[in-house]
């Protein structure tokens, strides 16, 4: 039988992120908490924390134990609420990290299969790769969604799953594009909104312009696809982006796709760790 007293001690330390604070809340000594957690680790057969400097970080098994502890104690609260005619739901957690610059439409399309599930709660965190990869490695997110796969070496712990490749197009308002569909004329005659160099397909666009001996008039370089969408919609210029970014605007006619750029694609991928205890919702989304 699982010792729920040991589990609650572990849960308090994991929740507070600090042994001293948990001991104060539980009104017990730090040594007592440490002993209880060691007994729980022995019973489960896995370390639940690892020490990083002066702090404690959950291991993969620790994060799973913490998720289940949240459910267990939430279920206890739900019992009390149910008998007092209150309502409450208990849901499993899928933590998704996404580059802050990534298309929101793509993020939603990835998560849509579980968005309406009664058994899954999704937590989305946005940030840079420098912020998200450490979160993945310490099991604070289950997956990172990116539009440019980072360089990998023998020391890299994550795996990249290619989810989709989208063609990149020139997009603008119907008034600006008119009946013109010739790529070179569009790039030569109109101000152009481009992603910054950090976006995967920007280098391919620059190479294409060089091959064609074109010097587009760049009106804006933007690292946020949502901002590119707004600028295009406000007719600041023609935007170079994947159509998925402006799905709604293309559907309602506020923007039109003038032409595709030959050989230029944006790659969407999911970065994950190899786990002994994979999140079932993530396995479903990745088709595993």
Whole-angstrom distance, CA of residue 142 vs CA of residue 144: 7
- Quote the pLDDT of residue 85: 53
Verify that 21 and 106 share a domain, yes or no.
no
- Quote the pLDDT of residue 197: 85
Sorted by sequence, the CB contacts under 8 Å of residue 195 that are 6+ apart come out as 101, 201, 202, 221, 222, 223, 225, 228, 240, 241
Number of domains in the chain: 3
Q: CATH number for the domain including 235? A: 3.40.190.10
Verify that 26 and 155 share a domain, yes or no.
no
Verify that 180 and 147 share a domain, yes or no.
no
Verify that 127 and 150 share a domain, yes or no.
yes
- Quote the pLDDT of residue 51: 84
- The three-state (H, E, C) secondary structure of the chain, written as one string: CCCHHHHHHHHHHHHHCCHHHHHHHHCCCHHHHHHHHHHHHHHHCCCCEEEECCEEEECHHHHHHHHHHHHHHHHHHHHHHHHCCCCCCCCEEEEEEEECCCCHHHHHHHHHHHHCCCCEEEEEEEECHHHHHHHHHCCCCCEEEECCCCCCCCCCCEEEEEEEEEEEEEEECHHHHCCCCCHHHHHHHCEEEEECCCCCCHHHHHHHHHHCCCCCEEEEEECCHHHHHHHHHCCCCEEEECHHHHHHHHHHCCCEEEEEEEEEEEEEEEEEECCCCCCHHHHHHCCC
- Domain containing residue 211: 166-264
Verify that 79 and 54 share a domain, yes or no.
yes
- Quote the pLDDT of residue 82: 57
- Quote the pLDDT of residue 274: 86
For the record, the structure tokens of 81 come out as: 């609420």
- Quote the pLDDT of residue 71: 84
Verify that 99 and 36 share a domain, yes or no.
no
- Quote the pLDDT of residue 86: 53
Verify that 205 and 140 share a domain, yes or no.
no
Whole-angstrom distance, CA of residue 145 vs CA of residue 284: 15
For the record, the structure tokens of 247 come out as: 């799905």
Verify that 119 and 104 share a domain, yes or no.
yes
For the record, the structure tokens of 205 come out as: 């666009």
- The pTM is what? 0.70
- Quote the pLDDT of residue 87: 46
- What is the mean pLDDT, run by run of 10 residues, along the chain of 288 residues? 91 88 90 93 93 84 91 78 56 86 89 88 91 90 90 81 93 96 95 89 92 94 90 96 93 96 93 86 88
Verify that 276 and 160 share a domain, yes or no.
yes
Q: CATH number for the domain including 55? A: 1.10.10.10
Verify that 175 and 159 share a domain, yes or no.
no
């Amino acid at each position: 039988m699982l010792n729920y007293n040991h589990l609650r001690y572990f849960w308090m330390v994991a929740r507070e992120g600090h042994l001293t604070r948990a001991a104060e809340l539980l009104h017990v000594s730090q040594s007592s908490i440490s002993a209880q957690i060691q007994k729980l680790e022995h019973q489960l057969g896995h370390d639940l924390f690892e020490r990083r400097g002066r702090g404690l970080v959950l291991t993969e098994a620790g994060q799973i134990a913490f998720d289940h502890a949240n459910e267990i104690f939430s279920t206890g609260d739900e019992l009390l609420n149910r008998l007092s005619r209150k309502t409450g739901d208990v849901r499993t957690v899928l933590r998704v990290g996404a580059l802050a610059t990534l298309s929101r439409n793509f993020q939603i399309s990835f998560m849509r299969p579980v968005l309406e599930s009664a058994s899954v709660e999704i937590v989305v965190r946005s940030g840079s790769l420098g912020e998200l990869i450490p979160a993945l490695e310490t099991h604070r997110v289950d997956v990172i969604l990116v539009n440019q796969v980072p360089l990998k070496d023998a020391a890299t712990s994550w795996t990249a799953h290619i989810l989709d490749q989208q063609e990149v197009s020139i997009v603008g308002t119907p008034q600006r594009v008119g009946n013109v569909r010739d790529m070179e004329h569009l790039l030569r005659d109109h101000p152009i909104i481009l992603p910054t160099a950090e976006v995967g397909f920007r280098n391919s666009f620059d190479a294409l312009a060089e091959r064609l001996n074109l010097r587009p008039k760049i009106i804006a370089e933007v690292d946020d696809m949502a901002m590119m969408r707004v600028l295009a919609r406000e007719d600041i210029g023609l935007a170079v982006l994947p159509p998925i970014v402006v799905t709604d605007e293309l559907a309602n006619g506020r923007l039109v796709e003038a032409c595709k750029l030959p050989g230029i694609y944006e790659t969407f991928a999911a970065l994950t760790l190899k786990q002994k205890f994979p999140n079932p919702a993530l396995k479903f989304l990745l088709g595993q």
